[in-house]
Chain A
Amino acid sequence: QQPVQSPQAVILREGEDAVINCSSSKALYSVHWYRQKHGEAPVFLMILLKGGEQKGHEKISASFNEKKQQSSLYLTASQLSYSGTYFCGTNTGNQFYFGTGTSLTVIP
Protein backbone atom coordinates (compact mmCIF):
# COMPACT_ATOMS: atom_id res chain seq x y z
CA GLN A 1 0.00 0.00 0.00
CA GLN A 2 3.03 2.23 0.30
CA PRO A 3 3.35 4.43 -2.81
CA VAL A 4 6.41 3.63 -4.89
CA GLN A 5 8.69 6.46 -5.96
CA SER A 6 11.16 6.58 -8.79
CA PRO A 7 13.98 7.13 -9.12
CA GLN A 8 15.32 6.05 -5.75
CA ALA A 9 18.19 8.49 -6.04
CA VAL A 10 19.32 11.20 -8.41
CA ILE A 11 22.32 13.50 -8.59
CA LEU A 12 22.02 16.81 -10.39
CA ARG A 13 24.25 19.73 -11.17
CA GLU A 14 22.99 23.15 -10.23
CA GLY A 15 20.59 24.42 -12.85
CA GLU A 16 19.51 21.00 -14.09
CA ASP A 17 15.95 19.73 -13.95
CA ALA A 18 14.56 16.60 -12.30
CA VAL A 19 11.32 14.67 -12.18
CA ILE A 20 10.27 12.45 -9.29
CA ASN A 21 7.42 10.04 -9.80
CA CYS A 22 5.00 8.59 -7.27
CA SER A 23 2.80 5.65 -8.10
CA SER A 24 0.16 3.93 -6.01
CA SER A 25 -1.69 0.65 -6.35
CA LYS A 26 -4.58 2.16 -4.41
CA ALA A 27 -6.86 4.97 -5.44
CA LEU A 28 -5.36 8.33 -4.65
CA TYR A 29 -7.70 11.00 -3.32
CA SER A 30 -4.93 13.49 -2.80
CA VAL A 31 -1.17 13.55 -2.95
CA HIS A 32 1.11 15.36 -0.54
CA TRP A 33 4.76 16.13 -1.22
CA TYR A 34 7.37 16.63 1.48
CA ARG A 35 11.09 17.26 1.51
CA GLN A 36 13.33 16.08 4.31
CA LYS A 37 16.87 17.26 4.75
CA HIS A 38 19.33 15.09 6.58
CA GLY A 39 18.76 15.19 10.31
CA GLU A 40 15.64 17.31 10.00
CA ALA A 41 11.90 16.73 9.98
CA PRO A 42 9.92 16.49 6.73
CA VAL A 43 8.72 19.83 5.45
CA PHE A 44 5.47 20.21 3.54
CA LEU A 45 5.78 21.31 -0.09
CA MET A 46 2.30 21.02 -1.55
CA ILE A 47 -0.95 19.09 -1.77
CA LEU A 48 -2.70 18.14 -4.99
CA LEU A 49 -6.37 17.49 -4.63
CA LYS A 50 -7.93 16.78 -7.98
CA GLY A 51 -7.18 14.59 -10.94
CA GLY A 52 -5.03 16.41 -13.41
CA GLU A 53 -4.32 19.20 -11.00
CA GLN A 54 -1.01 20.96 -11.17
CA LYS A 55 0.48 23.21 -8.56
CA GLY A 56 3.65 25.19 -8.30
CA HIS A 57 5.88 26.43 -5.55
CA GLU A 58 8.69 28.66 -6.79
CA LYS A 59 10.56 26.40 -9.20
CA ILE A 60 8.97 23.24 -7.88
CA SER A 61 5.71 22.07 -9.37
CA ALA A 62 3.69 18.89 -9.42
CA SER A 63 0.98 17.12 -11.31
CA PHE A 64 -1.57 14.56 -10.22
CA ASN A 65 -3.22 12.06 -12.53
CA GLU A 66 -6.03 10.55 -10.51
CA LYS A 67 -6.94 7.98 -13.15
CA LYS A 68 -3.42 6.63 -13.37
CA GLN A 69 -2.93 6.94 -9.61
CA GLN A 70 0.28 8.78 -10.23
CA SER A 71 1.86 12.06 -9.28
CA SER A 72 5.04 13.70 -10.46
CA LEU A 73 7.15 16.38 -8.84
CA TYR A 74 9.10 18.68 -11.16
CA LEU A 75 12.15 20.57 -10.01
CA THR A 76 13.45 23.09 -12.49
CA ALA A 77 16.77 24.94 -12.47
CA SER A 78 17.75 23.07 -9.32
CA GLN A 79 19.56 24.83 -6.52
CA LEU A 80 21.87 23.44 -3.85
CA SER A 81 19.09 23.98 -1.33
CA TYR A 82 16.92 21.43 -3.14
CA SER A 83 19.05 18.58 -1.87
CA GLY A 84 17.21 16.19 0.39
CA THR A 85 14.86 13.25 0.33
CA TYR A 86 11.49 13.80 -1.27
CA PHE A 87 8.45 11.87 -0.15
CA CYS A 88 5.04 11.67 -1.65
CA GLY A 89 2.21 10.74 0.67
CA THR A 90 -1.42 9.88 0.52
CA ASN A 91 -4.22 9.75 3.04
CA THR A 92 -6.66 6.90 2.44
CA GLY A 93 -8.98 8.12 5.14
CA ASN A 94 -7.68 5.51 7.57
CA GLN A 95 -4.03 6.26 7.63
CA PHE A 96 -1.36 8.23 5.92
CA TYR A 97 1.13 6.40 3.71
CA PHE A 98 4.45 7.89 2.78
CA GLY A 99 6.18 6.83 -0.40
CA THR A 100 9.49 5.02 -0.55
CA GLY A 101 11.41 8.28 -0.92
CA THR A 102 13.75 9.76 -3.52
CA SER A 103 17.15 11.05 -2.51
CA LEU A 104 18.10 14.11 -4.52
CA THR A 105 21.57 15.60 -4.41
CA VAL A 106 22.44 18.84 -6.15
CA ILE A 107 26.13 19.48 -6.70
CA PRO A 108 27.85 22.70 -7.80
Chain B
Amino acid sequence: KAGVTQTPRYLIKTRGQQVTLSCSPISGHRSVSWYQQTPGQGLQFLFEYFSETQRNKGNFPGRFSGRQFSNSRSEMNVSTLELGDSALYLCASSLQASGRTDTQYFGPGTRLTVL
Protein backbone atom coordinates (compact mmCIF):
# COMPACT_ATOMS: atom_id res chain seq x y z
CA LYS B 1 0.00 0.00 0.00
CA ALA B 2 1.17 3.50 -0.69
CA GLY B 3 1.83 5.58 2.38
CA VAL B 4 0.48 8.95 3.36
CA THR B 5 1.43 11.65 0.89
CA GLN B 6 1.57 15.38 1.46
CA THR B 7 1.99 18.17 -1.01
CA PRO B 8 3.79 20.41 -1.35
CA ARG B 9 6.83 19.31 0.66
CA TYR B 10 8.20 22.81 1.02
CA LEU B 11 6.51 26.18 0.89
CA ILE B 12 7.65 29.75 1.39
CA LYS B 13 5.06 32.46 1.96
CA THR B 14 5.00 36.00 3.28
CA ARG B 15 3.03 37.39 6.18
CA GLY B 16 -0.60 38.01 5.43
CA GLN B 17 -0.83 35.45 2.66
CA GLN B 18 -2.83 32.25 2.89
CA VAL B 19 -1.76 28.71 2.18
CA THR B 20 -3.40 25.38 1.42
CA LEU B 21 -1.74 22.07 2.22
CA SER B 22 -2.89 18.71 0.93
CA CYS B 23 -2.84 15.23 2.40
CA SER B 24 -3.76 11.90 0.82
CA PRO B 25 -4.25 9.14 3.39
CA ILE B 26 -3.47 5.47 3.03
CA SER B 27 -6.03 3.74 0.88
CA GLY B 28 -8.96 2.62 3.02
CA HIS B 29 -8.20 5.00 5.86
CA ARG B 30 -11.02 7.37 6.62
CA SER B 31 -9.51 9.50 9.35
CA VAL B 32 -7.02 12.28 8.75
CA SER B 33 -5.44 14.30 11.54
CA TRP B 34 -3.25 17.36 11.21
CA TYR B 35 -0.40 18.39 13.49
CA GLN B 36 1.92 21.34 13.74
CA GLN B 37 5.49 20.68 14.80
CA THR B 38 7.81 23.44 15.97
CA PRO B 39 11.02 23.30 18.02
CA GLY B 40 9.44 25.27 20.82
CA GLN B 41 6.00 23.71 21.07
CA GLY B 42 6.65 20.20 19.84
CA LEU B 43 3.84 18.29 18.16
CA GLN B 44 0.50 20.01 18.53
CA PHE B 45 -2.82 18.60 17.40
CA LEU B 46 -4.73 20.81 14.95
CA PHE B 47 -7.83 18.85 13.98
CA GLU B 48 -9.16 15.53 12.83
CA TYR B 49 -11.52 14.68 10.00
CA PHE B 50 -13.50 11.52 9.54
CA SER B 51 -15.92 10.88 6.70
CA GLU B 52 -15.78 14.53 5.62
CA THR B 53 -16.67 15.78 9.11
CA GLN B 54 -14.43 17.52 11.57
CA ARG B 55 -14.50 15.33 14.63
CA ASN B 56 -12.04 17.06 16.92
CA LYS B 57 -10.19 20.32 17.07
CA GLY B 58 -7.12 21.46 18.94
CA ASN B 59 -6.44 24.86 20.45
CA PHE B 60 -5.57 26.84 17.36
CA PRO B 61 -7.11 30.09 16.13
CA GLY B 62 -9.79 30.16 13.46
CA ARG B 63 -7.18 31.07 10.84
CA PHE B 64 -6.48 27.36 10.73
CA SER B 65 -9.16 25.37 8.96
CA GLY B 66 -9.50 22.19 7.04
CA ARG B 67 -11.77 19.94 5.13
CA GLN B 68 -11.99 16.39 3.91
CA PHE B 69 -13.30 15.16 0.61
CA SER B 70 -15.33 12.08 -0.20
CA ASN B 71 -12.17 10.19 -1.19
CA SER B 72 -10.74 10.93 2.28
CA ARG B 73 -8.15 13.35 0.94
CA SER B 74 -7.82 16.34 3.21
CA GLU B 75 -6.73 19.92 2.88
CA MET B 76 -5.60 22.34 5.52
CA ASN B 77 -5.80 26.08 5.06
CA VAL B 78 -4.07 28.81 7.01
CA SER B 79 -5.17 32.36 6.33
CA THR B 80 -3.43 35.62 7.18
CA LEU B 81 -0.12 33.92 7.80
CA GLU B 82 2.03 35.01 10.73
CA LEU B 83 5.73 34.46 11.29
CA GLY B 84 4.87 32.04 14.09
CA ASP B 85 3.08 29.76 11.64
CA SER B 86 6.43 28.62 10.30
CA ALA B 87 6.50 24.94 11.11
CA LEU B 88 6.42 21.41 9.83
CA TYR B 89 2.81 20.41 9.21
CA LEU B 90 2.20 16.71 9.46
CA CYS B 91 -0.85 14.78 8.56
CA ALA B 92 -1.61 11.30 9.80
CA SER B 93 -4.16 8.79 8.64
CA SER B 94 -5.84 5.99 10.52
CA LEU B 95 -8.66 3.56 9.96
CA GLN B 96 -10.97 4.82 12.67
CA ALA B 97 -11.93 8.18 14.10
CA SER B 98 -10.50 9.22 17.45
CA GLY B 99 -9.78 5.62 18.12
CA ARG B 100 -7.90 5.24 21.35
CA THR B 101 -6.47 2.06 19.99
CA ASP B 102 -5.90 3.21 16.47
CA THR B 103 -2.48 3.56 14.91
CA GLN B 104 -1.64 6.75 13.11
CA TYR B 105 0.56 6.69 10.02
CA PHE B 106 2.30 9.95 9.28
CA GLY B 107 3.11 11.60 6.01
CA PRO B 108 6.49 13.25 5.36
CA GLY B 109 5.13 16.68 6.21
CA THR B 110 5.05 20.09 4.59
CA ARG B 111 7.71 22.52 5.72
CA LEU B 112 6.12 26.00 5.74
CA THR B 113 8.31 29.06 6.08
CA VAL B 114 6.66 32.44 6.58
CA LEU B 115 8.82 35.47 5.81
Interface residues of A (CB under 8 A from B): 2, 29-30, 32, 40-44, 47, 49, 87, 91, 93-101
Contact = CB atoms under 8 A, between A and B. Distances in A.
16 contacts: A41-B106, A41-B107, A41-B108, A42-B106, A47-B101, A91-B98, A91-B102, A93-B98, A93-B100, A94-B98, A95-B48, A95-B56, A96-B45, A97-B45, A98-B42, A98-B43
A91 B99 contact: yes
Interface string B9-34: 00000000000000000000000010
Given A95-B48, A101-B42, A41 B98 contact: no
A66 to B, nearest CB: 12
A49 B33 contact: no
**9 shortest interchain CB distances as A-B pairs:** A41-B106, A98-B43, A95-B45, A91-B100, A30-B100, A29-B100, A95-B56, A42-B106, A44-B103
Contacts of A100: 42
Interface residues of B, number: 23
B109 interface: yes
Interface in B69-115: 90, 98-109
A43 to B, nearest CB: 7
B101 A41 contact: no
A94 B56 contact: yes
B98 A47 contact: no
Nearest to A1: B59
B45 A41 contact: no
Contacts of A44: 103-105
Contacts of B107: 41
A24 B108 CA distance: 28
B106 to A, nearest CB: 4
A97 B59 CA distance: 12
